[in-house]
Amino acid sequence: MHPSCLLALREGNMTRLRVLLQDDRTRFYGMTIKGNSILHIAASLGKVWPITEACNLPELGLLLHQNLKGDTILHCAARAGHDHILSLLIDHQAGKQMTKVLNQRGDSALHEAARGGHAKVVLQLLVIGENMASMVNRDGESPLYLAAVRGSVEIVKMLLECAMVDYRGPRGQTALHAAVCRSYDIAKVLLEKMPLLNLQADASQSTPIHYVASLGNVNMVRLLLQANATIAHLLDDKGLSAIHIAARKDYTAVIEEILHHCPDATELTDGDGNNFLHVAIKKGATAVVRLVLSNPLLRQSISETDHEGNTPLHMAVMGHNVEIARLLLLDSKVDENVLNCKGLTPLDVASSIEDSKFHFKRSLMIRDLNLVDAKFGPRRMDIVMFEDQGFP
């Protein structure tokens, strides 16, 4: 592209550009090193005159030209949100052809408009672009998914009115996965129009409620559970339910909301047999432990074991968590002498801690366990003592 033409375009000096093109008409067909024509730049900047000129040409080649990224001028105008450029192109025969063109990323102009949150452009494209709402790009993104990511309720509602609309996102996600991370209003609209999205999992088998539980958004959790309470039972590929995830993050309000809609969620265990309290203790989620100890309806969890027979107290000691171990020991309902599958009590576990950086915590936990008269498992105590001191 002639440098003077490019400079005039970028400065928005259409008078200067007209003069340059009148002096040498071939300059109208010049390209940048990225394959952008005068029309690409004009569309990106919202400049009408060059595009009007191209629309008056007998051939469509310049209008339909794609740059090295595969973008047409429709992509450029949609990305920038220039609805007045869209109006001009829609009235031309090339406009409808361009709605079917995908760039190298697999994006249509509708993808670009939805990604940018340009509602007026989306509306114009849906008028002329048949089935554009059903196109998915190479990253697996539909326009509906991109609109949800953008947080545009207006665009989401427009797309849901289409006869054919795809809801997919990357890595098995759906528009609802995106919506629950962005907008309550969008999530509500999607649940009304596409209720089954509440059950649909991504590539890691995570459903929207898994996402919301990790964010601690109580209102969104309530919205999803009111639509379908059974989603609380859904497990991801690691066997984690929403209550496990909330417990890991120490979100007690989310746990309470889940249990309000699905009381038996306390019975859910992951692949290792961990209930939500086990998981909370592993992550040092003290608030969850306090919640369980203070709620009579949850107290059964303090005596449950995982597949290796470990109680929550075993878990606390294994994790060198003095505070949580102390909270459990102060509760009269906690049995401090339960044997796990290896025949070890919590005191055995504490005594077996060898890492020198945890010796102070070890001594505190052993002291606390002794204060409640905790016992070792049945064994020869001389062997235990010698092993603790590093002797063969």
Tell me, what CATH number does 123's domain have?
Answer: 1.25.40.20
Mean pLDDT throughout 364-388? 80
Q: What is the pLDDT of residues 317-333, one digit of tens each?
A: 999 999 999 999 999 88
Beta bridge partner(s), residue 174: 168
Name the pTM for this structure. 0.88
Band the pLDDT of 1: cuts 50, 70, 90.
low
Domain count, the chain: 1
Specify if 382 maps to a domain: no
Higher pLDDT, 26 or 389: 26
CA distances from 243 to 38, 106, 204, 276, 314 (A): 56, 38, 17, 6, 21
pLDDT at position 170 is 98
Specify if 127 maps to a domain: yes
Instruction: Report whether 212 contacts 168 (CB < 8 A).
Output: no
Alpha-carbon distance of 71 to 35, in angstroms, equals: 9
Q: Among 7-21, 249-263, 350-364, which range has the highest average pLDDT?
A: 249-263
Q: What is the pLDDT of residues 183-237, one digit of tens each?
A: 999 999 999 999 999 999 999 999 999 999 999 999 999 999 999 999 999 999 9
Band the pLDDT of 390: cuts 50, 70, 90.
very low
- Which residues neighbour 236 within 8 Å (Cβ) at sequence distance 6 or greater? 201, 204, 205, 206, 207, 210
Specify if 49 maps to a domain: no
Q: What is the pLDDT of residues 261-301, one digit of tens each?
A: 999 999 999 999 999 999 999 999 999 999 999 999 999 99
pLDDT at position 391 is 39
| Helix axis angle, 322-329 to 286-294, nearest 10° | 10
Specify if 36 maps to a domain: no
Cα three-residue angle 70-74-75, rounded to 5 degrees: 50
pLDDT at position 27 is 74
Closest CA to 75 of 50, 39, 47: 39
Q: Which residues of 159-189 are buried (b: 16+ CB within 10 A; e: fewer)?
A: bbebeebbbbbbeebbbbbbbbbbbeebbeb
Mean pLDDT throughout 328-348? 94
In this model, does residue 378 exceed pLDDT 70?
yes
The answer to whether the Cα torsion of 269, 270, 276, 279 is positive or negative is: positive
In this model, does residue 389 exceed pLDDT 60?
no
Specify if 343 maps to a domain: no
Q: What is the pLDDT of residues 366-376, one digit of tens each?
A: 999 999 999 99
Specify if 275 maps to a domain: no
**Enclosing domain of residue 192:** 105-200
Mean pLDDT throughout 132-141? 96
pLDDT at position 383 is 67
In the numeric block, the tokens 């809801």 are attached to 167
Specify if 392 maps to a domain: no
Residue-averaged pLDDT of the chain? 91
Specify if 253 maps to a domain: no
